Chains A and B, each alone.
Chain A
């Protein structure tokens, strides 16, 4: 890895941060969505959804406490998809072209873009956790520290999925389908809002889908990390999915294959 690679990585991260700071609306909307779930949805469903003691919890917890890791995952999921939406826009409007014509390996440019977007997700999640703490849903300091790399890993995996999708989507208009066919199924067919044993009681098939969903594992990775524990299976699945999605994205953006070869 040369200094030119690091220089480019720093510049891409800095640009992403500057864009993030300049788009306060994006920051606010990224926080409002999970806060509505936490403060409204969770309050309404608290009585309906009884929770038993399951790892990593060692005592009964409130429903609000249960869904906090899932809502961190939601932030990463929406941010990853929003990043890919902006990539489709950038590719159509030009600024992605500027990036792709830089004299650096394309996989490195995509990695830099992915790392930059994931760091933004971590910031958004920390802001969300701070607000949740202000409403009485807090963890130990060590839990927050452990959660940072877990959130980063989850954001990388979901961002890589977004990159892969952006490489396959021809036009911005097609992105609405991503909402219906990727974001919602991924979020609802996961352990974000209800523990999987609850889903198993309802339907074995749905349970198996939820258990195979990499988003479930990303959420569990964050959940365990918030309590200072490591869920090795969740880590393995999250990193495995990151490798698969990342490789697919690199393939999709290869000049000889994928979307860039199909459409100027």
Chain B
């Protein structure tokens, strides 16, 4: 177990008759970039709901930077930065005001909040947009801003739930590169949920989730070889066929 990383152990969750997650587990070391790859309906969003404590799992546990999410939820949540699939920005407010609101939810106020907000924007190349209303930003910049916001409180673990949905190819590439750099240069543990294989690099840790179960866990190069897309499609199709 690593104090700065993320441990997910035996997570099981059922929505009524449907088993959404069944014994899901993986262990991410500090600074790891892990892609959580799965088709639509694989259980990624349910897992993110559990990792962010929107609800508690029926079985299993989550440990964030050494803090058990169910036993010490506030300490664990204070070490997590989250970028949700759907935007959680206040469009009528300025970029800066959105960041300060989030900082305050983490107990950071005044000059310190301002300093951190500007530093986070600067890191994502958005410092000059601080005074603009969010509504004036394009989709790529809004996503960058959400990543900047998620880093204000200096989390150990960054969770991103399909952060490139709805973005064009250039914006997707820019955001994927940014987050890879963050993991490499700042020791941030990253869990990046996606259903797009081209967002995964060969050296990334890869967890393939399908029908609520982990189908594969290792480096992307080891799992996918030369063609991750083909491997991913064959793995998920094989499971689907076996169930059918």
Q: Which residues of A contact B (CB under 8 A)?
A: 2-5, 7-8, 10-12, 14-15, 18-19, 22, 93-95, 97-105, 255-256, 260-264
State whether the Cβ of B176 lies closer than 8 Å to any Cβ in chain A. no
- Contact residues in A for B82 (Cβ distance below 8 Å): 98, 101
Q: 8 A-B residue contacts at CB 8 Å?
A: A7-B107, A10-B109, A11-B109, A22-B92, A102-B105, A103-B74, A255-B56, A260-B55
Interface SS of chain A? helix
Q: Indicate if the CB atoms of A8 and B105 lie closer than 8 Å.
A: yes
A100 to B97, CA, bound (A): 19
One digit per residue, 1 when the CB lies within 8 angstroms of any chain A CB and 0 when it does not, for chain B 194-220 equals 000000000000000000000000000
State whether the Cβ of B93 lies closer than 8 Å to any Cβ in chain A. yes
A124 CB to closest chain B CB (Å) equals 19
Point out the residue from B84, B86, B105 that lies within 8 Å of A104, measured CB to CB: B105
Which residue on chain A has the smallest CB distance to residue B97? Answer: A18
A18-B97, A19-B92, A255-B55 are known contacts. Are A7 and B86 too (CB-CB below 8 A)?
no
Q: Which residues of B contact A (CB under 8 A)?
A: 15, 45-46, 49, 52-56, 73-75, 77-78, 80, 82, 84-90, 92-93, 97, 100-102, 104-109
The residue among A19, A22, A97, A263 with the most chain B CB atoms within 10 A of its own CB is: A97
Q: Indicate if the CB atoms of B107 and A101 lie closer than 8 Å.
A: no
Q: Indicate if the CB atoms of A98 and B107 lie closer than 8 Å.
A: no
A11 to B90, CA, bound (A): 13
Q: Indicate if the CB atoms of B54 and A101 lie closer than 8 Å.
A: yes
A-B interface contact total, Cβ < 8 Å? 90
Q: Indicate if the CB atoms of A261 and B56 lie closer than 8 Å.
A: yes
Q: Indicate if the CB atoms of B52 and A101 lie closer than 8 Å.
A: yes
B203 CB to closest chain A CB (Å) equals 30
Known contacts A7-B109, A101-B82, A264-B54; 9 additional CB pairs below 8 A are A10-B109, A11-B101, A11-B109, A14-B101, A94-B88, A95-B89, A99-B105, A100-B54, A102-B106
Point out the residue from B80, B86, B105 that lies within 8 Å of A94, measured CB to CB: B86
A121 to B80, CA, bound (A): 34
Q: Indicate if the CB atoms of A102 and B77 lie closer than 8 Å.
A: yes
A262 to B77, CA, bound (A): 21
A93-B86, A97-B54 are known contacts. Are A10 and B104 too (CB-CB below 8 A)?
yes
B101 CB to closest chain A CB (Å) equals 5
Q: Indicate if the CB atoms of A98 and B84 lie closer than 8 Å.
A: yes
A94 to B100, CA, bound (A): 18
- Contact residues in A for B109 (Cβ distance below 8 Å): 7, 10-11
Q: Indicate if the CB atoms of A255 and B101 lie closer than 8 Å.
A: no
A19 CB to closest chain B CB (Å) equals 7
A251 to B90, CA, bound (A): 27
Which residue on chain A has the smallest CB distance to residue B109? Answer: A7
- Contact residues in A for B92 (Cβ distance below 8 Å): 18-19, 22
Q: Indicate if the CB atoms of B56 and A2 lie closer than 8 Å.
A: no
Q: Indicate if the CB atoms of B107 and A3 lie closer than 8 Å.
A: yes
- Contact residues in A for B105 (Cβ distance below 8 Å): 8, 11-12, 98-99, 102, 104
- Contact residues in B for A262 (Cβ distance below 8 Å): 15
A7-B104, A103-B78 are known contacts. Are A256 and B90 too (CB-CB below 8 A)?
no
B16 CB to closest chain A CB (Å) equals 9
A101-B52, A102-B77, A260-B55 are known contacts. Are A94 and B87 too (CB-CB below 8 A)?
yes
A94 to B161, CA, bound (A): 12
Point out the residue from B54, B75, B77, B88 that lies within 8 Å of A260, measured CB to CB: B54
Point out the residue from A4, A100, A256 that lies within 8 Å of B56, measured CB to CB: A256
A93 to B88, CA, bound (A): 7
- Contact residues in A for B53 (Cβ distance below 8 Å): 100-101, 255
A94 to B86, CA, bound (A): 6
A8 to B100, CA, bound (A): 10
B164 CB to closest chain A CB (Å) equals 16
A8-B107, A93-B86, A103-B106 are known contacts. Are A256 and B55 too (CB-CB below 8 A)?
yes
Q: Indicate if the CB atoms of B88 and A103 lie closer than 8 Å.
A: no
A99 to B82, CA, bound (A): 12
Point out the residue from B15, B46, B90, B104 that lies within 8 Å of A8, measured CB to CB: B104
- Contact residues in B for A2 (Cβ distance below 8 Å): 107
B84 CB to closest chain A CB (Å) equals 5
- Contact residues in B for A260 (Cβ distance below 8 Å): 54-55
Which residue on chain A has the smallest CB distance to residue B51? Answer: A101
Which residue on chain B has the smallest CB distance to residue A101? Answer: B52
B63 CB to closest chain A CB (Å) equals 16
- Contact residues in A for B52 (Cβ distance below 8 Å): 97, 101
A105 to B105, CA, bound (A): 11
